[in-house]
Structure 1
Amino acid sequence: MTFQSGRHFLQIPGPTNVPDQVLRAISAPTIDHRGPEFAALTSELLDALKPVFGTSGPVIVFPGSGTGAWEAALVNTLSTGDRVLHVETGHFATLWQQMAAGLGLLVDFVPGDWRHGASPEAIADHLAADSARTIKAVCVVHNETSTGVTSRISEIRQAMDATGHPALLLVDTISSLGSIDYRHDEWGVDVTIAGSQKGLMLPPGLGFNAVSEKALAASRTARLRTSYWDWQPYIEANRRGFFPYTPATNLLYGLAEALRILKAEGLPAVFARHDRHAAATRAAVRGWGLEVLCADEREYSSSLTAVLMPEDQDADKVRKIILERFDMSLGAGLGRLAGRVFRIGHLGHLGDLTLAGTLAGVQMGLQLAGVRIDPGGLADALDVLRTE
């Protein structure tokens, strides 16, 4: 790659761009994680996290990835041989069910086409058929990062409640938390899973579990629980402002600053901004004459848009041209979508002009790759961005 002046456009759906003030916070000197200054920081953080998850209950912060937070949710609530229901909404839902099977859980995997979210009706049908109540948990990815499809969690909870089934509801919000409206308590979620590197505008390195009282009760009899991921030592240490082992101190500095940024904008405004940027991106895609992968407008993602390429075109070729010519990274197609889609991330620390530049780069890259498009797509997106 030849020298490129200007900033790199990181438009993958995570890790996302980190605000300068968060980077500055992370660069502060490390302090004693057993001292009073750190205890005050921890207490502030744990309180500030709760509104982002939409919960009044505990939020546990692990030094780890979103995948680690997946494992924490499973091992704290379940035992070997327990039956769990997973829904195939894309690449990451598939990986999560593979993890569950690897941990010795019995997985019912509801197949999907990777263009729709988890079906509340299908989940209700599976639970209703489980007359012996052997299914212990339902695991759903809220926003499937590989497809740009957002499952309707509140409707899933309503469908579960209608069956009277006692299964826990475990939800992955790794690419939706802090970007798409989410309500842990109101929607009756038992464990919400998140990571630091997307809507929370941090580098990778922190994983989160928000936990209901029902999930805490399940953790007292779970037999998969491991030392590293065990919730109980965290909850006990957090009461005093500490952690059961060495935390990612400098990432916590960054988290405190990121939470202040979200609070200053206001979560409703954050969600509205993401909605508008997603609408502008979809307008560009349709204007170009291409297809948004998500097939149900109720499930459009406000974090990212997956663009389905014509059969005779290679999405990775388009991505390569855009990276080499315009110094912009787009998300690749994953799993069965490899080479078929590219993904435009529009979440986190992002403004109108950055998105306009992103879509201009995509349009030029498509043209250079020989993809037949209508160049009016960019103007369609700008029409959306001009609106309040």
Structure 2
Amino acid sequence: MSARLQAESLYKVFGRRPDQAVERLRAGADREELRAEGATAAVIDASFTVEPGQIFVVMGLSGSGKSTLLRMLNGLLDPTAGHVRFDGQDLTTLGDRELREVRSRKISMVFQHFALFPHRSVRENAAYGLEVQGVPRAERVRRADEALALCGLAGWEKSWPDELSGGMQQRVGLARALATDADLLLMDESFSALDPLIRRDMQDQLLELQQKLKKTIVFITHDLNEAMRLGDRIAVMRDGRIVQIGTAQDILLRPENDYVASFTQDVDRSRVLTAGELMDTSVTGDDPGCHCETATADTPFTELCAISARLSHPVSVVDEGNKLIGVVPRQRLVGFLGDEQDTTPEPCDSPRDKGGEKVIARA
């Protein structure tokens, strides 16, 4: 499967002599040196790929460069160096007119602060991108209403934005992006202005829509829990650089450095971990004695704990053909619940695992 979106060694420098600043960064200069000379390195040597139908989350603190990176992906900001390729087309070589065409038909953006027109109805806001494309009115209305229905706003088409709650307004923004049937959605902290419960609801809405529509999405957030809930893959940024790319499990269990590890300290692991990450794969084959109640690699942590509580031996993890691919000893679950630092799996026949019990040794 070829990547839908590719970022290749992207740099964005604001201020004096940006091209010279890029060369200095490549030679090992840091941001502080450049800042003293009047140049700000917002994004430094960022590279990644996004596959079709994937939610790729870029996460970092304020000032890490994530929003600048997003704006280079659709040409709102020109890279100082590097390339952005979408379906094989190098967007960094396009002129203004060609870029506007790409943005109006192939790439849609969902903003943090809704960006709705107060003098337009909900339907007219949802149809705005189609209006820019020159789509006939009847077709605009049909597609806007379909997108609003997908976002749970059927019946609100004639309402005004100020009659809607914050969450509903954000749904209109999402419907506007969906109505254009763009292949790529760019979402810049789209839920961060919402109250926690509404934010959770919008995350559910996005995941539900993704099940149906299989869009390619780049989602920006500063919230690791949100990143881990939504992202198929996550890029963590710090000071303009991507310091790690991986799945939620990679970020949680195999942080590249102390900076990434510091983000994971307060994460609820039970919402992220599955049997596939916890199982001991040294025990495989066909062992009917361990198959009275089994899990699969995708079984969530909480469900795995419930299964383990009903058994006196490690939980067997099987594949689609019911073949044993690993086991999860009870002490492994207890270790993660207690934030144990040693995450190396132990075989299920460990002498300390008799009856599924073990005294946990703290790191």
- The two structures have a TM-score, normalised by structure 2, of 0.27
Higher relative contact order (Cα pairs below 8 Å, separated by 6+ residues): 1
* Structure 1 or 2: more strand by fraction: 2
